[in-house]
Amino acid sequence: MKSRRWSNTCVEDLPEYMKLLYQMLMDLHEEMGEFLARMGKLHQLNYVKDTIKEYIRSYMIEAKWNHENYTPTVEEHRDVTYISTAFNVLLVTSFAAEGNVITDELFHWLFSYPPIVKASFGLGRVMDDIVTHKEEQERKHVASVIECYMKEFDVDKEHSQGFFIEMIEDAWKEMNKESITCKDVKMPIKRRVMNIARVMDVLYKNKDHFTHVGEELISHIKSLLVDPISI
């Protein structure tokens, strides 16, 4: 399948609007491969590539659902959309970029989807869907977890949203518990997983700050990356 190839030769098969993005992706990971090769860890680039392929496949499934006007079950939705959040891509890429600090065992831990990872991914997916599903459905988007739950359990939107708001609270509790009790990895790794959830809390708490960027999000970005810190 062409969608599973990883090669510069694929560029010419793509529509014009995708060529630049695809080439940037190839260039970025070629550079990462050179970095990892210098440390004898070139094989870790395969973790990144496989994760990106999985990410793209999840979007293809969502596109198929949307095209067929199919509303998946909550479980089907979870299995696909936890991947399409791209959280795994972000984590795996950030781990690989650290080179000697990161072992193969850490990647295996991440790919086993331990409780702290599931909670972080689930929180992000649900927070996104709660505040974006209404606008997305107006432009024929794939069903959000809100619509999936409504259809599967024959409940109204308010009931569905209430269920997932409770799920968000439970996810925070799960991450806090795992940050203390999980001994498989060190705290900096667990903190990075939790930071993914914290970013989603900033982007999607109460409204869709990601799509409709306002002064609040701009202020956060400036304070993090632009404004100097007083010492």
At residue 53 the predicted structure's pLDDT band, cuts being 50, 70 and 90, is very high
At residue 146 the predicted structure's pLDDT band, cuts being 50, 70 and 90, is very high
At residue 12 the predicted structure's pLDDT band, cuts being 50, 70 and 90, is confident
185 touches 111 (CB < 8 A) = no
Looking at the predicted structure, is the pLDDT value of residue 25 above 50? yes
At residue 1 the predicted structure's pLDDT band, cuts being 50, 70 and 90, is very low
At residue 5 the predicted structure's pLDDT band, cuts being 50, 70 and 90, is low
Alpha-carbon distance of 215 to 217, in angstroms, equals 6
Own/partner long-range contacts of 22-27 (Cβ < 8 Å, ≥24 apart): 25/52
Looking at the predicted structure, is the pLDDT value of residue 2 above 50? no
Burial of 174 per CB tally in 10 Å (0-12, 13-18, 19+): middle
Looking at the predicted structure, is the pLDDT value of residue 230 above 70? yes
100 touches 81 (CB < 8 A) = no
What average pLDDT does this structure show over 160-188? 95
Q: Which of 176, 71, 70 is closest to 123 using CA atoms?
A: 176
Looking at the predicted structure, is the pLDDT value of residue 189 above 50? yes
Most confident of 1-15, 137-151, 160-174: 160-174
Q: Which of 211, 205, 73 is closest to 130 using CA atoms?
A: 205
The pTM score is 0.87
In the CATH hierarchy, which fold is given to the domain comprising 14-226? Farnesyl Diphosphate Synthase (1.10.600)
Higher pLDDT, 7 or 54: 54
Task: Work out the end-to-end distance of the chain between its first and last CA atoms, rounded to an integer number of angstroms.
Answer: 55
At residue 64 the predicted structure's pLDDT band, cuts being 50, 70 and 90, is very high
CB neighbourhood size of 191 (10 A): 11
Round the average pLDDT of the chain to a whole number and report it. Answer: 91
Looking at 8-22, 68-82, 143-157, 182-196, which range is the least confident one?
8-22
Residue 189 CA: distances (Å) to CA of 14, 15, 93, 98: 37, 38, 13, 12
At residue 215 the predicted structure's pLDDT band, cuts being 50, 70 and 90, is very high
Greatest alpha-carbon pair distance for the chain in Å reads 57
